[in-house]
Structure 1
Amino acid sequence: MLSIDEIKRPIAAEIDVFEEKFKTSMQSSVPLLDRITHYIVKRKGKQIRPMFLFLSASLCGGINESTHRGAALVELLHTATLVHDDVVDNSYQRRGFFSINALWKNKIAVLVGDFLLSKGLLLSIENNDFHLLKIVSEAVRQMSEGELLQIEKVRRMDIDEPVYYDVIRQKTASLIASCCACGAASSGADDATVEKMRLFGEKIGIAFQIKDDMFDFGTDDVGKPLGIDIKEKKITLPLIYALNHTTPTEKKRVINLVKNHNDDAQKIAEIINFVKQTGGLEYAESQMKLYQDEAFEILHAFPDSESRRSLEQLVRFTTERNK
């Protein structure tokens, strides 16, 4: 598998320009805000979302100024949701660094999230990018609904496969879908092509989340600690499958363990072993590959090009990664 830097090479110059524009888009006359946004920019990840957006634009017609604004819009709104999520989850770390609420407390974190959200909205409105704003706003709506659906279902512990897919389609896949759709729309693609790219991104997002859920059970040597989802009482695909392929008595016992583990390492290990022994990881892997193949099927309908090959490599990096 190619490294992220190798995949990025065809659009590396565009990503560099985007990063500078993204910094500019967050500027403020308030010194405190500038310190916080500087902290955010310094800790950005691999830029996978902008890469999907730029490569989708390149595939569908070409990268232009609208593409750069679309990438900034996605990152501004996504960063705003992450800042708010850390407040909601009482999380004090993100990617191994202190979260905004850990350093500047909840009130400031909420206001920073609001500021980033407004910056994204204004960026689109001032440049008449209403088609891009509609795509990304729809994704933010779905992300909020998906989070609330998961909270509701976790409380009642009644998540089945259809509900699981509803949650991850809204919470995770909608954002990657919006990146691919924005890229296509910014390049001037027609509505049918934009929808095709949106669906392509949705398939990738679902495969990505299934892979991420598998890490909770220790499928590879990864940075994510084991059992995080179990500790938060999240019912993911490997566990759903295992619960549906065991005896009623064992199912009741494991559900009781999930509800009442109280962060007991032995109980969490017992749940992990149950999932492994019941075939939950193998099933999740097969489903992840199914969605990956469906994404490739959409992608391969486009003529062969450097952009298409780079997107294929980016899909593989996203869904076959070890962390």
Structure 2
Amino acid sequence: MNLTEIIQPIKTELLEFERFFKKMMFSKVKLLNIISHYILRQKGKRIRPTLVFLSAKLVGDINESTFHAATLVELLHTATLIHDDVVDESDMRRGFPSLNSIWGNKVAVLVGDFFLAQGLLLSLKHKEYRFLHITSEAVRRMSEGELLEIQTSRSNDIDEEVYFRIISDKTASLISACCELGAASTTDDEVVLYKLKNFGENLGIAFQLRDDLLDYMGETSITGKPVASDIRDGKITLPLIYALKNSSRKESRRVMKIIKNNPRNKDIFYVIDFVKSYGGIDYTLKVAEEYLERAKSLISDFSDSLAKASLLKLADFVLERVS
């Protein structure tokens, strides 16, 4: 299964979206336009606009407001990626040097701020106040999730409950917002909006679980990020949390010592083998499957359509993806 198949019901809308999105990225400032061209060369999968359009089409007819919603979330997503690279001091993004590594932190932060402002102004211009409420809530949650992760990383005090709070806020909040925004662009039905919001929440958690698995199973040439980057960065994710919980105290102490002290390659392979041998991979995969089943159940009673079929396929794609 691939995204080309999934986007078929909204292929025309996504092409039109690209033109609309590009228009919102440019200004009268030459430096900003140079940077916008650079970002557009790194085109991502457009998962979030896809969710907006499919959610809208599931419950109604795609309209001008749907394009505003898709543009808003993609501008917000782009801004958060730029800011994340500054916070994480990342040198690369999608195989390209990051903005902060080329133009510096100050320029990168300001570009991110510009994109965020453009999205908010778009909604204000068209009096789409519910969009502003949904995205503001997502930004609040994303910020809290990032700060909670920083707080726990300093103390290494993280269990499953805290982990799920972090990924729910950091990752699932925006995916949830995409689905709710898409639905809100076509209906005011609160029950429908609740279902799509929670469909996105469960899908987003499964998405992050799969991402955390790829850190232990992926290949740099496929995923686009270094193997075991979470381990190198001292991030404790569900595969490791589960393995630590089910190993001896002596082994868990050794692994935590490795995590805290800039692990070398041989140490990283030891941690990967440790996680696999104590069932961390299988457990995380099982939990991801459970979240995806919850997501699917939330849209099961909607009428059969191409949009519904694509949303269900997208759920399966989340679990199967290798990058």
Band the TM-score falls in, shorter-chain normalisation: over 0.9
| Paired position in structure 1 for 2:44 | 45
The 1-side partners of 2:96 and 2:111 are apart by 17
The 8 Å contact of residues 60 and 184 in structure 1, kept in 2 or not, is answered as yes
The 1-side partners of 2:41 and 2:266 are apart by 38
| Paired position in structure 2 for 1:240 | 241
| Paired position in structure 2 for 1:121 | 120
Stretches of structure 2 that go unaligned for 5 or more consecutive residues are none
| Paired position in structure 1 for 2:273 | 273
The 1-side partners of 2:112 and 2:218 are apart by 34
1:178 positional shift? 0.4
The alignment partner of 2:216 has SS state of coil
What amino acid does structure 2 have at the position aligned with 1:145?
A: E
1:222 positional shift? 3.9
The alignment partner of 1:123 has SS state of helix
- RMSD (Å) for aligned C-alpha atoms: 1.2
Provide runs of 4+ in structure 1 moved above 3 Å. Answer: 219-222
The 2-side partners of 1:222 and 1:37 are apart by 25
Correspondences of 1:269-308 after superposition (within 5 Å)? 269-308=269-308
| Paired position in structure 1 for 2:182 | 183
The 8 Å contact of residues 296 and 312 in structure 1, kept in 2 or not, is answered as yes
1:91 positional shift? 0.7
The alignment partner of 2:247 has SS state of coil
The 8 Å contact of residues 85 and 98 in structure 2, kept in 1 or not, is answered as yes
1:9 positional shift? 1.3
The 2-side partners of 1:291 and 1:30 are apart by 44
The 1-side partners of 2:165 and 2:135 are apart by 18
The 8 Å contact of residues 61 and 189 in structure 1, kept in 2 or not, is answered as no
| Paired position in structure 1 for 2:106 | 107
- Spell out, residue by residue over 1:134-178, the C-alpha distance to the aligned partner (whole angstroms, 9 max, x if none): 111111111111011001101100110000000000000011100
The 1-side partners of 2:76 and 2:190 are apart by 23
| Paired position in structure 2 for 1:320 | 320
- Spell out, residue by residue over 1:161-209, the C-alpha distance to the aligned partner (whole angstroms, 9 max, x if none): 0000000000000111000000000012412211110100010000011
Residues 51 and 124 of structure 1, relative CA distance in 2, 3 Å threshold: same
Farther-moved stretch of structure 1 (196-205 vs 34-43) = 34-43
Stretches of structure 1 that go unaligned for 5 or more consecutive residues are none
The 8 Å contact of residues 71 and 179 in structure 1, kept in 2 or not, is answered as yes
The 1-side partners of 2:287 and 2:218 are apart by 15
The alignment partner of 1:216 has SS state of helix
1:49 positional shift? 0.7
TM-score norm. by structure 1 comes to 0.97
The 2-side partners of 1:12 and 1:189 are apart by 25
Correspondences of 1:63-212 after superposition (within 5 Å)? 63-212=62-211
What amino acid does structure 1 have at the position aligned with 2:227?
A: L
Give identity over the alignment, percent: 51
Residues 43 and 219 of structure 1, relative CA distance in 2, 3 Å threshold: closer
The 8 Å contact of residues 218 and 227 in structure 2, kept in 1 or not, is answered as no
